[in-house]
Amino acid sequence: MQWILQQFEDTEKLADALDRLGIPYSWHNVVPFVGELVPEPEVRDPLSVVMFGSYTLWRYAEAKRLHPGVFRIVPFVHEKPWQPFMLNGPDARFLQISEIEEKLPDDGRFWFIRPVADSKEQAGSVKVAADIRETARKVMALDADEIPDGSLRHDTLMMLTIPARIQQEWRIWIINGVVVTYSLYKEGTRVTYRHEIDNDALEFAQTLAKLNEGYSPAYVMDICRTEDGLRLLETNCINAAGFYAADLVKLAEAVNVMA
């Protein structure tokens, strides 16, 4: 497998793991708004290339027909096998940015809000309705051609759910339906990165992966423990998700055999 990396703190950690495994890689910058790489990589075999860095790398991978390249994923909220296990899934509301002012009352309620697509326009967070409406107003005040790539747009579909009290959050890396590594990244409101997971949480993650084996060959799943038990938070593109305290040697080994 040929590894192409965009330089970030996380990808430097991945490079350390690749060094330990004796797997070569190359460093590249991404030209903003164009998607080209500098320097241009010398691709030996387009059917044996993987890229890690920012989410925008998918454009280069797709244009050059690289495989596996970047593992793009569909919105997890539409995956029926997972819907019974989602955090507040049955109560979710789905609104485009253009619909928020009309359909979301300014009633002082708090919502957890995030884009439905795994496209990184905005991180998921809890906000009061007035702030959500203000963000929507600012987006709607711009013409479509004024909005930069990767930003919220008029037609961006957002998911809004009732906030829940979360006790712990874990990130899980899944390759070909199997959990290969994991990391705790939050306890209550405190961010903490440790390479550990409760046995029932690991079993829960593996069960979810098996329930929906056709979702993607490789992806990241975030799960959490609440007062009502374990729940699925979201999924993310494995090529652009933070590594936290994952075992990157195990991850690199699993990805390297996917050519």
Question: What is the chain's Cα-based Rg?
Answer: 19
Backbone angles phi, psi at 226, to 5 degrees: -120, 180
pLDDT (mean) for 146-164: 86
Query: Does 88 score more than 70 pLDDT?
Result: no
**pLDDT confidence of 122, banded at 50, 70, 90?**
confident
pLDDT (mean) for 172-195: 96
Quick check: bond before 84 cis, omega within 30? Answer: no
Task: Give me the amino acid identity at 63.
Answer: A
pLDDT (mean) for 133-150: 88
Percent share of the chain, pLDDT over 70 = 97
Q: What's the pLDDT score for residue 152? A: 92
pLDDT (mean) for 13-21: 98
Number of alpha carbons in the 13 Å side-chain half-sphere of residue 25: 26
Q: Where are the beta strands (DSSP E) in 137-251?
A: 157-161, 166-175, 178-187, 190-194, 218-226, 229-236
Query: Does 121 score more than 80 pLDDT?
Result: no
The 8-class DSSP code of residue 258 comes to T
Distance CA 128, CA 133 (A): 9
Neighbours of 133 (CB within 10 A): 17
> How far is CA 148 from its chain centroid?
20
Query: Does 25 score more than 90 pLDDT?
Result: yes
**pLDDT confidence of 222, banded at 50, 70, 90?**
very high
- Its pTM stands at 0.83
pLDDT (mean) for 100-105: 94
Q: What's the pLDDT score for residue 230? A: 97
Residues facing 69 on adjacent strands: 50
